Amino acid sequence: MKFDNHDARIRHYELLLERDLDSLPVFPLPDGYRFAFYRPGDRDIWIDIEKSAKEFATWEQGLAAWEMYYASNEASLCGRMVFVENAAGEKVATATAYEDITGRDRSGSGWLHWVAVRREYQGRGLSKPLISYVLGVMRALGHTRGKIPTQTTTWLACKVYLDLGFRPIPQNAVHSRDGWRIVRTLTDHPALAEFPPASLREILAVWLETERLVLRDYVEEDFEAYFRLKSDEKTMYYLQDIQLSSREEAEREFPVLDIWTVLRQEREPRFQIHPMMSPGDREGRAFVHYTAWREAYTGLMPEAILKAHTLERCRESAQWGSSDDTFVALDREDGDQVVGFATLCRSARDFVSVPEAGEIAALYVLQEYQGLGLGRQLLEHCLAWIPRPRVALFVLEGNEKAIRFYEHMGFRPTGHRIVDERDGDTLVEIEMCLERDTHQ
């Protein structure tokens, strides 16, 4: 089965790679191309390149990404954002030597951002020279290591990064193990030999089959009246090694009145947990934080405190989260709406009384989605990322539903409480702790 280099049919996993910046490989640009740094006014060109490479579906999405990543620090781009220009001076590719915009990555690593080549210029040998050049810029800026976030849907880019010496960071290799299995299968890259290959069923986001039809190479001109490529719904139909020379032959082979009665669709699970990455994830986290507060704490907190917990305040809070510390729960049947989130601290904050502990700083699920196991899944994802023998959290006194949930998950009250006096009202938070064997 053939996959596009940016293919929505592939099951989505977030991936993160890194490498040191010593002894960087050097790849010269093909004849007729040159490097150029960002100049004021290049924003729209950047968006157009990224959109051509399928990073964005619309210009508005590109503008939102620019505002989030670069608008507040645009002056620095003159020494960080690189373009490849053709002989006519047209900018056809771009990448940026930047940093973690959340400020949570304390490692000092540079971050390779938004690598993209215009669709019509892909396959011309531009990506490796561009990336190696930008890594050199990153090193000149004082970084000793570089990181790059990517995803399984851009699997061919993963191969380029692996060829350039990038490797999965250890935590991501564990959390996105199935994603790396997919990349291993699609690229057969020797650097991923430790990952077992993924089956076709595991690779594809959607699987449709009948007794006669399985997922194989799709030939668009075959059977066009009955099998449609519906990329907007991520739905695919494929023929199994069947070449049909005419519409009449297709109708004889697969009667149109019968085909839909035998098709059955086996979708991926409705809900998916993954690290918070996109602007949409952040906006969804903010909405859940705002809404779930009112759902959980009405009657337990004074109305003045609830009113102060505005959506805008939740949006500001969401900007501090990152893919390293926040997981979101998505409802795939509702346009990937965020319906829950959890935030962790690998080392607990100062007011936690438990020694050698990590912390669950927040966990919220919208009321209509409670009871579906999402809270447990979010909690388990956080626990997998906390390398401490104990994990602490705080729960509002009187929130019996939450207390019962955490007790069911193995947490126990420590006896420590935090008392917050606000305008004559008293709020008490109960500390709970999970003791665990991190070697299991």
Q: What is the pLDDT of residue 26?
A: 86
Cα R_g (the chain), whole angstroms: 25
Contacts of 363 (CB under 8 A, 6+ apart): 340, 341, 342, 343, 375, 378, 379, 382, 393
Q: What local confidence, expressed as pLDDT, does residue 249 receive?
A: 53
Model confidence band, residue 147 (pLDDT cutoffs 50, 70, 90): very high
Rounded to whole angstroms, the Cα distance separating 398 from 375 reads: 19
Compare 327 and 204 and report the one with higher pLDDT: 327
Instruction: Supply the pLDDT for residue 368.
Output: 92
Which of 63, 74, 128, 125 has the alpha carbon at shortest distance from 98? 74
Looking at residues 335-347, what average pLDDT do you find?
A: 92
Q: How far apart are CA 171 and CA 27, in angstroms?
A: 30
Distance, in Å, from the CA atom of 16 to the CA atom of 125, rounded to the nearest integer, reads 23
Q: Which residue has the tokens 């959890």?
A: 342
Q: What is the chain's mean pLDDT, rounded?
A: 82
pLDDT score, position 268: 55
Check: CB of residue 214 under 8 Å from CB of residue 185.
no
Q: What is the CB neighbour count within 10 angstroms for residue 350?
A: 5
Token digits of residue 138: 């990153």
Band (200; pLDDT cuts 50, 70, 90): confident
Cα–Cα distances in Å, from 71 out to 62, 66, 147, 303?
Answer: 12, 6, 21, 37
CATH number of the domain at 271-435, please?
3.40.630.30
CB-side exposure of 102: number of CA atoms within 13 Å?
A: 19
- Predicted confidence at residue 206, as pLDDT, reads 53
**CA 353, CA 429: separation in Å to the nearest integer?**
13
pLDDT band at residue 234 using 50, 70 and 90 as cut-offs: very low
Burial of 330 (0-12, 13-18, 19+ CB in 10 A): buried
pLDDT score for 102: 65
- As a whole number of angstroms, the distance between CA 38 and CA 16 comes to 26
Q: By the 8 A CB rule, do 277 and 149 touch?
A: yes
Q: CA-CA distance, 374 to 49, in Å (whole number)?
A: 38
User: Which of 335, 355, 224 minimizes the C-alpha distance to 283?
Assistant: 335
Closest to 382 (Cα-Cα) out of 351, 357, 350, 355: 357
Of residues 245 and 148, the one with the higher pLDDT is 148
- The pLDDT of residue 378 is above 90: yes
Q: What is the DSSP annotation of 341-374?
A: EEEEESS--TT--STTEEEEEEEEE-GGGTTSSH
Going by pLDDT thresholds of 50, 70 and 90, the confidence category of residue 255 is very low
Question: Tens digits of per-residue pLDDT, 82-128?
Answer: 999 999 999 999 999 998 776 667 788 899 999 999 989 988 999 99
Task: List the chain domain ranges.
Answer: 23-143, 206-267, 271-435
> What's the whole-number mean pLDDT along residues 367-379?
92
Q: Which residue has the higher pLDDT, 270 or 365?
A: 365
Query: What's the CA gap between 168 and 117, in Å, rounded?
Result: 23
Determine the angle formed by the axes of helices 127-140 and 155-163, rounding to 10 degrees: 60
Confidence of residue 214 (pLDDT cuts 50, 70, 90): very low
pLDDT in tens, 11-68: 888 888 999 998 888 889 999 999 999 999 999 999 999 999 888 878 888 898 899 8
Q: What local confidence, expressed as pLDDT, does residue 243 receive?
A: 46
Q: Would you say residue 259 has pLDDT above 60?
A: no
Q: Which two tokens stand for residue 405?
A: 């949930």
pLDDT tens by residue, 381-422 = 999 888 889 999 999 999 999 999 999 999 999 999 999 887
User: In sequence order, what E strands does 258-346 have?
Assistant: 264-267, 271-275, 326-331, 337-345
Q: What is the CATH number of domain 23-143?
A: 3.40.630.30
pLDDT (0 to 100) of residue 211: 30
Mode of pairing for the β-strands spanning 264-267 and 206-209? antiparallel
Q: Could you give the residue ranges of the DSSP H alpha helices within 364-440?
A: 374-385, 400-408
Mean pLDDT of 191-210: 74
Query: So what's the pLDDT on residue 230?
Result: 29
131-138 mean pLDDT: 94
Mean pLDDT of 179-206: 87
DSSP string, 59-83: HHHHHHHHHHHTGGGGGGGGGTEEE
